[in-house]
Chain A
Amino acid sequence: MNARRILIIMKWEFVHLIRDPVSLIISLFMPFFMLFLFGYSMCFELKEMPTAVFDMDHSSASRDYIERINSTQYFNIKFHFKSYEEAISSLDRGVTKLVIVIPSHFGRNLKENKPAIIQPLVDASFINSAQIIINYLHGINATYSSSIITNYINKKGASISLEPVKMSLRTWYNQSLRDYTFTITGMYSVVMMGFIPLLSALAIVREKESGSIQQIFVSPVKPPEYIAGKMLPYVIFLGIDNVLVVLFGVWWFEIPFRGSFMLLMWGVFMMVFATVALGFLISTFTRNQLTAMLIGIVFTLMPAFIFGDSISPLVNMPEGWQLYAGLFPARFFTGFCRAVMLRGAGLEGCWQDALSLTVYCIAIFAVASFSVKKNKIM
């Protein structure tokens, strides 16, 4: 490969980029925008959720229970219904997502030391948030019940431990169990995978559509030199841009950053390199820009979502699919990112992902370069 020819292609590409400032600026700002949007849209925090109650008991016990629920930061009792139909219709209309029905023997059962039934009605159309609501409610009930059990055991004069087995919880790497930590570190991959291949694919396909790629073919430039020359401006621009995106995410969403910055930067550049090369690979199959964009969405953005360990954990998937996920660099970068940022890992802690990413880069670059055949009108 001749360095001089690569440099010439590089200069040419830089000039192209600067001549379309609108696109350049949009391209540079899009990742921030995407990260911002996805960050806010994917995280669920239960806070003062409007809740309804249908109390058929009207005893001091039931009012006490309702007050317990209301006094937490999670639920805010806003509605008191007088009939089952009202309750169901409120769920239907989406007025509330949780109605707690208290049947009429609640207080009496508690007094008689029998299990007192309550019936929470949950709108489960969004299973994620419904699960969180159910868990919190369960926690509140458990605490409430335990004080009842304690009184019961003390009254009976039996000296038994209320909690024979006490489980102490240690959460690592994300003490406050913030949803953002997981989501944002996954979103970096999605943002890079969704957007960068599009830009690099369009770079080549545009030349194909306008026919200016013929000029390259009649010049002494060899395909690998062409790819390398085109790649470097994008890697530089997008690499710096995405390092800034990562830092923006850390700053705005308050994500811990416990590892080495140099290591992370290296990882970002590797991922950018891989995705740019992926875009070039896509461009060898397509002739027009619309197709390039659609292929980009189908084969890079969606896989990043599904297989990138970003929304749905990879461990959930059938084994075969987990292997298939290895075809896309998203999951390596997500793993690398989480290891370095959350667990503070050095190279020993993340070498598998780092190595996979490097191998992936080299492989894709090789395939892309050798797929560009000069004398063939693709």
Chain B
Amino acid sequence: MQRLSGLVKKEFIHFYRDPVSMLLILYHFTACIVLCTYCFRFEVDHLPITVYDSDQTTLSRELVTKFISTEFFDLYAYASSYNDAGLLIDKGAVKAALIIPSGFAEVLNAGEQANIQYLCDAGDANLAGQGTGYAKRIIADYNTNIIIKQLNKKGIVIKNLPGVDSRLRTFYSQEMDSVYFLVLLHIVVAGLIGGLVLSSTAIVREKERGTIDQLMVTPAKAFEFILAKALAPLVIGLIATVFSFLVAVWFSVPVKGSVITFFCYMGFFLIGNVGIGVLVGSLCQNMLQAILLSYAVWFPGVAITGLLLPLENMEPWTQSLGKLLPTTHFLIATNGIFQKAIGFAELWPEAIILLSTGGVLFMAGYFIMLREWS
């Protein structure tokens, strides 16, 4: 026990002597989130568009105003011709163009159908989809008003058109949605780096420098050595998570469940990652390999674990692969705690999975290490 605490203390001294790395990890847990919040927005607005209105009547101008007065569309410039509008899209200056042909008002007043065009640069399918969705809604509203007016003119008094009236209700979405997503992204990445990278590089560094040989000739056992390498990143990770949590609170991210449960699961997540890290560290001979292998593990940990996209929307084989990674289960737990206010009672399977992954991989790393430890 005394040997173990000595080794753990040594680890902390190592980290203390490398303030730059510690600061970077802390930065990632905190300032980076703040940065992202101001820049990362999935809801689209201020889409630059151009308008070519060759009708120039009250009615056409009314329609154009409906478009550009929304927050969604930003008028970049009026186009002087159809080709001009196309050129602006080609150049990338605007993402869409609204084309109103001449005779628009005339046709409408005669009670017939008027045609307009909406051209869009669909390179960004998300932007294009949202843009066309908005445009369709604006036109649908415009049409509804015209139809009602025309019906009224014919003596059919009606205030609302028949049809389906959809009253949407969203769940678990808060205004802080993007913020929540970003906070989660950073906590996961930081947890991966803190757990996986710190533990694996700590082990490999000693191998590379040869200091591991010095440890082998001391009474310290391999198990104590590895445990110390695992404990220090765990503690550091948890402390840094406190800071992340404070940032989340500062942005008013609501937490419906228990904060303590969250920290427990963060601990389990770190344990899972540290297990992987120990295995990686015991396998690699130099830092470059360790870093590359860590990358190979933590990228999937971000990509296919349901962080960027829900698991159900991925191919089946990707889903199965994702379920092998600790991040997936941590996300299930965290989403549950933050948004659905569930706790250990419903989330105990996740806890078991995280802990056992960490445990099993830790032991695997230990046995590999044991062979080298004379």
Which A residues have a C-beta under 8 Å from some C-beta of B?
20, 22-23, 26-27, 30, 33-34, 37-38, 40-45, 65, 88, 91-92, 97, 109-110, 113-132, 134-135, 137-139, 141-142, 144-146, 148-149, 152-153, 156, 158-175, 177-179, 181-182, 185, 195, 198, 202, 206, 209, 286, 288-291, 293-295, 297-298, 302, 306-307, 311-313, 315-318, 321, 335, 338-339, 342-343, 345, 349
- Tell yes or no: B368 within 8 A of A by CB: no
- Complex Cα–Cα for A126 and B311 (A): 11
Contacts of A289 in B (CB 8 A): 201, 287-288, 291
- Minimum CB–CB distance from A337 to chain B (whole Å) comes to 10
Q: Determine if B122 and A173 form an interchain contact, defined as CB atoms under 8 angstroms apart.
A: yes
10 A-B pairs with CB atoms under 8 Å apart are A42-B303, A120-B168, A124-B172, A148-B164, A164-B146, A164-B150, A174-B125, A206-B287, A289-B287, A298-B32
Q: Is the CB of B289 within 8 A of A138?
A: no
Say yes or no: B161 contacts A115, CB within 8 Å: yes
If A165-B114, A169-B120 touch, whether A41 touches B303 (CB-CB below 8 Å) is yes
Q: Is chain A's interface secondary structure helix, strand, loop, or mixed overall?
A: helix
Task: Determine whether the beta carbon of A142 is less than 8 Å from that of B292.
Answer: no
Chain A positions within 8 Å of B121 at CB level:
172-173
Interface residues of B in 120-168 (CB under 8 A from A): 120-130, 132-133, 135-137, 139-140, 142-143, 146-147, 150-151, 154, 156, 160-168
What residues of chain B have their CB less than 8 Å away from a CB belonging to chain A?
18, 20-21, 24-25, 27-28, 32, 35-36, 38-48, 63, 89-92, 95, 108, 111-130, 132-133, 135-137, 139-140, 142-143, 146-147, 150-151, 154, 156, 160-173, 177-178, 181, 189, 193, 197-198, 201, 205, 286-289, 291-293, 295-296, 299-300, 303-304, 308-310, 312-315, 318, 335, 339-340, 342
| A125, B163: Cβ atoms closer than 8 Å | no
Flag if A306 contacts B36 (CB, 8 Å): yes
Shortest distance from the beta carbon of A109 to any chain B beta carbon, whole Å: 8
A232 → B minimal CB distance (Å): 19
Residues of B within 8 A of A312 (CB): 39-42
Assembled-state Cα–Cα distance A294/B210 (Å)? 23
Closest to A317 in B: B39
Cβ contact of A307, chosen from B39, B304, B314, B340, cutoff 8 A: B39
Chain A residue nearest in CB terms to B113: A161
Structural contact, B114 and A343, CB atoms closer than 8 A? no
Asked whether A167 lies within 8 Å of B39 as measured between CB atoms, the reply is no
Is A127 touching B47 in the complex (CB atoms < 8 A)? no
Across the interface, do A42 and B308 meet the contact criterion of CB distance under 8 Å? Answer: yes
Instruction: Point out the residue from B130, B136, B300 that lies within 8 Å of A37, measured CB to CB.
Output: B300
Among candidates A26, A171, A195, A209, residue contacting B128 with C-beta atoms closer than 8 Å: A171
**Cβ contact of B116, chosen from A131, A167, A313, cutoff 8 A:** A167
Give every chain B residue within 8 A of A109 (Cβ-Cβ).
162
Write out the residue numbers on chain B whose beta carbons fall within 8 Å of the beta carbon of A293. Answer: 197, 201, 291
Contact, CB under 8 Å: B177 / A127: yes
Q: Is the CB of B133 within 8 A of A135?
A: yes
By a CB distance below 8 angstroms, the chain B residues around A119 are 166-169
CA distance A141 to B164 in the complex (A): 6
**A38-B303, A44-B313, A156-B156 are known contacts; what are 20 more A-B pairs with Cβ within 8 Å?**
A23-B286, A123-B170, A141-B164, A142-B140, A145-B163, A160-B150, A161-B111, A168-B117, A169-B118, A171-B128, A178-B125, A179-B125, A182-B127, A286-B20, A290-B205, A294-B21, A294-B28, A315-B95, A335-B92, A343-B92
